[in-house]
Amino acid sequence: MSHNWGMAVDLDRCTGCEACVVACHSENNIPTVGATEAARGRAMHWIRVERYWEGEFPDVKVKFRPVLCQQCDTAPCEPVCPTYASSHSEDGLNSQIYNRCIGTRYCANACGYNVRFFNFFPPAWDKPLHLQLNPDVSVREGGVMEKCTFCIQRINAGKVASGMAQRPLMDGEIQPACVQSCSANALVFGDLADPDSMVSKLAKSPRGTKLLEELGTKPKITYLQRGSWDDSQNK
Amino acid sequence: MTRRTSNSLTDDLLRPVLETSTKFYVTTALLALIVAAGFGTWFYQIYFGLGVTGDNWPVFWGLHETNFVFWIGISHAGTLISAILRIVNATWRRPVTRCAEVITAFALMIGALFPLIHLGRPWLAWWLIPYPSERLLWPNYRSPLVWDFFAINTYLLSSLLFLALPAIPDFALIRDRTTGWRNWFYGKLSLGWQGTPKQWHRLESAMHMMALAIIPIAISVHTIVSFDFSMAVVPMWHSTIFGPYFVVGAIFSGIAALNIVMAIVRKALHLEKYLQPIHFRNLGKLMLAMSLLWGYFVFNERLVTWYGNTPHEMAALWSTQMGRYSPLFWTMIVCNFVLPFPLLTIRKLRSITATVIASCGVVVGMWLERFLIIVPSLSYKGTPYSWGAYLPRWPEIVIFSSSFAAMALLYLLFSKFIPIISIWEMKVGEHPHIKVAAEVQEAEAAGELI
Amino acid sequence: MTGVYGLFSTPELAQEAVDGLRASGVPDHEITIQSSEPLEEYAFGSRDRDTLMPWIAVLGAAIGMATGYFLTSITQQAWPISTGGMPIVTNWSNLIIIFELTMLGAVFASVITLMFSARLPRRLPKFYDREISNGKILIGVADPKEIDRVEHALRESSGGVRKMELQR
């Protein structure tokens, strides 16, 4: 039985709290690069909450949009990797195979969503923070690309658990860290190959759009919002 | 043309090989120091990580990739002069061919180092070589970087052979004229060359075949380098114009580099009799043609982008025309177009010095062009929240400078061991039966030949 | 055995020497000519012109093309990699690799043909004179059957005739 993992992000619910960002960092052993490096633009947030301000005070509006790897069906990052480090999995995910990465960073340039990150320095955790590393996730070395994996370790754990219990996977059983931590239930994760799953239904919602659809990448994340984002350059 | 005796020609052209001055040793030492600094910086970068550079999110490519494209572009000098002029039988090329071929070979070697320098894990670069491994995974032939690997290696091998083969008779010449270690060394290098008609015919056939092959190789190489950019859906990269645009830019920068190198060689090795104003004038004409062609491509690219007005691309375009990168853009236009144009067209201004000034401008301008292709597009890609900026830091600047020192050092060492002007080809050029090019006759009539 | 030769300072004199040798009955293939530049405009310098090199270069190109085609298409199927529905054997992009290897094949074939047909590398044969590098043209016979006739023919057109002992 093959899966096709996808996600729906409800922009009408997102409060911009960034709990997803923090959860992702701690789940996936993403290093915090420090203030100097962050100022140089090296921060690595596999999921980020984009913030756009509109209008002048006191009529200011702010819009939040969580952006993470869209796990594109025709991912532009895949054909360009010389060593197949960026490749496709059977479950429809775009996998980043750390061991094969030689760090050309071409995939990051080809990615239209800027969701790929590079370990400019070998990641380090000052003691005692090294104790909170997730043993299910590898720690990358310097010179290697990384990005959101839809918490593949949780997907695999869920598949193993359901296999051992000899039952099919239930919708909502697997939740990536961001989905689990979202306080507004704005993020929904599931199997697009299962027509009864929540995410499949949301993908067909009239409120749904895809991000940067015109690039032809066939992203698997559906963004839900009432009305349009507003046709400014924020599209 | 005063008929120089074969001997005086040989003597003049062999003098730099057989006699060494103190200036040579001093210059070599200085250049070697700068090159060593470059290598030291590279190892520093490998040890500490690419974070020591200015690369960041989302501008992951910066000075190293600019230098890569720049040096591969410079390498197109030799192919144009040597191969194309050989095939169309332009006889004025004779003193210039080896100068140009040497630039090609060394620029390619330096350019091919930069893909290694920019890697995050360069010790694994050998994975790009197609070899059978127990993991059954080969390089991804869909990736433009693998195309680069094949194209650059093909061009490098072909250029080295193209440079080495016509050097064989010159090695034989030095072998016969020297004793001691030089006799032994050049004896080995000359492979027992005698100079029978059969050997000459075969050599010239091989040169002809290789000239025919190397022209499409050169065009394909820079087209493939341009594919590194045009194959990605990045604002202002994803354009079909990139192939021809890059090739024209490469030939343009190659000729400029050749002019500069020839002027230096002429002064330093006292070859004023052989590298004459007519050569610089002809190369200047070619450079002017390339400047116009390059200007046409830039105008085309910008007009189409501006007219199309897609939001996806306009931020990147405006940043180069009026925004953050506009000082660099307009400097580039001055260097590549505004400066060379009068220097190369107005008769009163034409001279070797003018050509060299124009060429220096072109080299600067073409480096800026590579930078402006790579960085603004990456700065303004994707959603506006993720836009960024780029400033190079000292490791990139040191490595950049040492690449120029490496070129100078390699060239200097080459001219010490191998005559920089191909002696036997010059002798052929003096045969009375050879049709002398119209320009040379005209120049002779005007009394411009020294 | 003895080799007899003369050194000539102009191609015209060399041509006379070759004509003289031919007149005295020496067959063409026994006449040794060596010079420091190609002298194709002269009759003596344009023998041995025919070569199969262009055809061998085409053959080399064909071998390169086949290598490129098989390298890419076979290795792309070696591991069952999932490409998300995109083609596995991508002939359009493989064309680039195939092109490069084709041209490389042509270049290598030309160089190898040169090496074989010019008999390089080899030890410099003894029948050689360093004066050639001073612009002289060497015309001679390596192992003449009638030394006197050869000497006479050569002396007619040059200042001096030389002999040298050659080893087989």
Instruction: Give the CATH number, domain containing residue A33.
Output: 3.30.70.20
Architecture of domain C2-47+129-165: 2-Layer Sandwich (3.30)
What is the pLDDT, as a whole number, of residue B433? Answer: 53
Kindly state the average pLDDT of the residues B55-80: 93
Task: Kindly state whether residue B201 falls inside one of the protein's structural domains.
Answer: yes
Cα separation values, C30 from A53, B417, C5, C22, Å:
93, 36, 12, 10
For range B106-135, the mean pLDDT: 93
Give residue ranges of A with CB < 8 Å to any C CB: 73-75, 78-79, 84, 87-90, 92, 94
Q: Which of residues 190-229 of A touch B (CB under 8 A)?
A: 211-212, 214-217
Task: Tell me what pLDDT residue B440 has.
Answer: 57
Note whether B131 contacts A: Cβ–Cβ < 8 A. no
Q: How many residues does chain B have?
A: 450
User: pLDDT by residue (tens digit) across A21-37?
Assistant: 999 999 999 999 999 99
Domain ranges of chain C: 2-47+129-165
- Distance, in Å, from the CA atom of B256 to the CA atom of B250, rounded to the nearest integer, reads 10
In this prediction, residue C152 carries a pLDDT of 77
Q: Specify whether the CB–CB gap between B316 and B236 falls below 8 A.
A: yes
Tens-place pLDDT, residues B170-204: 999 999 888 899 899 998 998 989 888 899 999 99
Confidence of residue B4 (pLDDT cuts 50, 70, 90): very low
Return the partners of chain C (3 or more C-beta pairs < 8 Å): A, B
What's residue B157's pLDDT? 96
Which of left, alpha, beta for B49 (phi over 0: left; psi -120 to 50: alpha)?
left
**Are B158 and C117 a contacting pair at CB < 8 A?**
no
pLDDT band at residue C17, thresholds of 50, 70 and 90?
confident
Residues near B79 by beta carbon (within 8 Å), at least 6 away in sequence: B104, B159, B214, B215, B217, B218, B254
Q: What is the number of structural domains in chain A?
A: 1
The nearest CA of chain B is from the CA of C9 a distance in Å of: 10
pLDDT digits (tens, 9 = 90+) for A152-209: 999 999 999 999 999 999 999 999 999 999 999 999 999 999 999 999 999 999 999 9
Residue B131 forms part of a structural domain:
no
**Contact residues of C toward A, CB < 8 A:** 81-86, 93
Query: Over the stretch A61-100, which tens digit does the pLDDT of each residue have?
Result: 888 999 999 999 999 999 999 999 999 998 999 999 999 9
* Cβ neighbours of residue B187 closer than 8 Å, sequence gap 6 or more: B175, C124
Q: Which of these, A74, A3, A12, lies nearest to A205 by C-alpha position? A: A12
Q: Could you tell me the residue range of the domain that residue A116 belongs to?
A: 5-224
**Three-state secondary structure readout of chain B:** CCCCCHHHHHHHHHHHHHCCCHHHHHHHHHHHHHHHHHHHHHHHHHHHCHHHCCCCCCCCCCHHHHHHHHHHHHCHHHHHHHHHHHHCCCHHHCCCHHHHHHHHHHHHHHHHHHHHHCCCCHHHHHHHCCCCCCCCCCCCCCCHHHHHHHHHHHHHHHHHHHHHCCHHHHHHHHHHHCCCHHHHHHHHHCCCCCCCHHHHHHHHHHHHHHHHHHHHHHHHHHHHHHHHHHCCCCCCCCCCCHHHHHHHHHHHHHHHHHHHHHHHHHHHCCCCCCCCHHHHHHHHHHHHHHHHHHHHHHHHHHHHHHHHCCHHHHHHHHHHHCCCCHHHHHHHHHHHHHCHHHHHHCHHHCCHHHHHHHHHHHHHHHHHHHHHHHHHHHHCCCCHHHCCCCCCCHHHHHHHHHHHHHHHHHHHHHHHHCCCCCHHHHHHHCCCCCCCCHHHHHHHHCCCCC
pLDDT digit string, tens, across residues B278-325? 999 999 999 999 999 999 999 999 999 999 999 889 999 999 999 999
3-state SS assignment for residue A88? strand
Provide the pLDDT for residue B234.
94
Residue A62 lies in a domain: yes
- Domain of residue B97 covers 6-119+141-445
From B212, B386, B213, select the one nearest A108 (Cα to Cα). Answer: B386
pLDDT band at C30 (very low <50, low <70, confident <90, very high): confident
* Closest CA of chain B from A68, distance in Å: 12
CA angle C27, C30, C34 (to 5 degrees): 125
CA angle B67, B72, B77 (to 5 degrees): 125
CA distance C114 to C53: 8
Over residues C78-88, the mean pLDDT reads: 79
State the pLDDT at residue B69.
97
User: B145 with B128: CB under 8 angstroms?
Assistant: yes
Token pair, residue C78, equals: 């070696």
Contact (CB<8Å) B209/C118:
no
Reading the block at residue B44, the tokens are 């520093």
Is residue C84 predicted with pLDDT exceeding 80?
no
Supply the pLDDT for residue A235.
38
User: Does some domain include residue B129?
Assistant: no
Q: Based on the structure, what is the number of domains in chain B?
A: 1
Instruction: Please list every residue in chain C whose beta carbon sits closer than 8 Å to the beta carbon of residue B138.
Output: 75-76, 78
Q: How confident is residue C141, by pLDDT bands cut at 50, 70 and 90? A: confident
pLDDT computed for residue B444 by the predictor? 63
Sort out which chain A residues have CB atoms less than 8 A from C83's CB and list them: 78, 87-88
Residue B449 is predicted with a pLDDT of 53
Tokens standing for residue B188: 């080995």
| Chain C CB contacts of A216 below 8 Å | none
pLDDT of residue B54: 94
Residues 107 through 126 of chain A touching chain B, CB cutoff 8 Å = 108-114, 117-122
Does the beta-carbon distance from A113 to B382 stay under 8 Å? yes
Interface test mutation site (partner A, options B309, B383, B396, max chain A beta carbons within 10 A): B383
Average pLDDT over residues B262-271: 92
Q: How far apart are CA B358 and CA B276, in angstroms?
A: 17
Determine, yes or no, domain membership for B127: no
pLDDT score of C75 more than 50: yes
Give the position of tokens 């020839």.
B262
Say which CATH number the domain at B222 has.
1.20.1630.10
Per the listing, tokens 């009239």 go with A206
Inter-residue contact C5 to C162 (CB < 8 Å): yes
Chain B contact probe: residue of A100, A106, A147, A209 with most B CBs at under 10 A = A106
Provide the mean pLDDT of chain B: 91
**What phi, psi does B432 have (nearest 5°)?**
-60, -25
* Least confidently predicted of A187-201, A216-230, C137-151: C137-151
* CA gap A2, A5 in Å, rounded: 10
B117 touches chain A (CB under 8 A): no
The confidence score (pLDDT) of residue A233 equals: 39
With CA atoms as reference, the chain B residue closest to C58 would be B209
Lowest mean per-residue pLDDT among A137-151, B360-374, C67-81, C132-146: C132-146
**Are residues A87 and C85, on separate chains, in Cβ contact within 8 Å?**
no
| Contact between chains at C84 and A90 (C-beta distance less than 8 A) | no
Tell me which of C45 and B71 has the higher pLDDT: B71
Please, are residues B63 and B53 in contact by the beta-carbon 8 Å criterion? yes
Query: Chain-wide mean pLDDT for chain C?
Result: 84
Can you tell me the distance from the alpha carbon of B413 to that of B408, in angstroms, rounded to the nearest whole number? 9
